[in-house]
């Protein structure tokens, strides 16, 4: 099995060498294969991917320009198929659900209010993962764990990473090294917190 990209430290948070939409697609395919091998065949539960034009048009209606990585994300798979629950609580949201949740946010400049450039893409509302659409689209975007009302304010930058590639690399490290594993009753992912680097764990994105 090929080596995963190296996780590096940047002024904006952890990132990976070579972060790009192409790398993200490779990592997502590997994540699906790894998760299936561990007992959760997630691709059986996901919608087909959607086109760049559909993603751009849909986000454009709310004033967002999708980063190239986000186009690759929904181009890979567009969330969970209707009427199907992903095994082991892995909630990958469709573009439609992400936009519905985005429209429910309370926007404003205050610490507890949602910042307009961020859109939630993963997780069980209100907790989950959000991505920033404010940077030039060819740059790896900022990614943060969120809990519904806080987490997207500029001053919350101690809990963020750069690039969805970083997040998926963390997930792969956890799955492939047994840091996260299927629980005894096979209903959820259990986590060995002591196996993670403390600084990775504290970001809140290294396990899912």
Do residues 131 and 141 lie in contact, with contact meaning Cβ atoms separated by under 8 Å?
A: yes
What's the CA gap between 121 and 37, in Å, rounded? 24
SS3 assignment for 123-140? CCCCEEEEEECCCCCCCC
User: In the chain, what are the domains?
Assistant: 19-158 (3.40.1580.10)
Cis peptide preceding 168, ω within 30 of 0? no
Name the nearest CA neighbour of 205 among 50, 11, 7: 7
Q: What are phi and psi of 183, to 5 degrees?
A: -65, 165
R_g of the chain, CA atoms, integer Å:
16
pLDDT single digits (tens) 42-75: 888 889 999 999 999 999 999 999 999 999 999 9
pLDDT single digits (tens) 22-38: 999 999 999 999 988 98
Q: Identify the pLDDT of residue 164.
A: 98
> For the whole model, what pTM was predicted?
0.94
- Tokens standing for residue 23: 């790398």
> Residue 208 — very low, low, confident or very high, per pLDDT cuts 50/70/90?
confident
Cβ atoms within 10 A of the Cβ of 88, count?
Answer: 18
Q: Rounded mean pLDDT of 127-156?
A: 91
Q: What is the mean pLDDT of the chain?
A: 91
Cα–Cα distances in angstroms (integers) from residue 14 to residues 20, 87, 89, 158, in the given order: 15, 29, 25, 10
Poorest-pLDDT segment among 40-44, 98-102, 138-142, 161-165: 40-44
């Amino acid at each position: 099995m090929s080596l995963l990209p190296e996780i590096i430290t940047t002024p904006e948070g952890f990132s990976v060498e070579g972060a790009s939409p192409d790398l993200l697609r490779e990592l997502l395919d590997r994540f699906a294969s790894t998760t299936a091998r561990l007992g959760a065949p997630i691709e059986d539960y996901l919608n087909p991917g959607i086109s760049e034009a559909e993603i751009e048009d849909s986000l454009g209606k709310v004033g967002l320009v999708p980063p190239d990585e986000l186009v690759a994300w929904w181009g890979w798979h567009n969330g969970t198929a209707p009427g199907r629950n992903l095994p082991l609580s892995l909630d990958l949201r469709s573009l439609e659900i992400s936009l519905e949740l985005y429209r429910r946010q309370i926007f404003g400049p205050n610490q507890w209010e949602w910042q307009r450039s961020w859109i939630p893409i993963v997780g069980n509302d209100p907790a989950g993962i959000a991505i920033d659409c404010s940077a030039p689209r060819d740059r790896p975007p900022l990614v943060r764990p969120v809990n519904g009302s806080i987490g997207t304010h500029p001053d919350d930058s101690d809990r963020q990473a750069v690039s969805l590639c970083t997040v998926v690399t963390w997930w792969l490290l956890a799955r492939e090294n047994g840091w996260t594993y299927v629980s005894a009753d096979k209903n959820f992912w259990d986590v060995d917190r002591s196996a993670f680097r403390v600084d990775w764990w504290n970001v809140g994105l290294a396990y899912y």
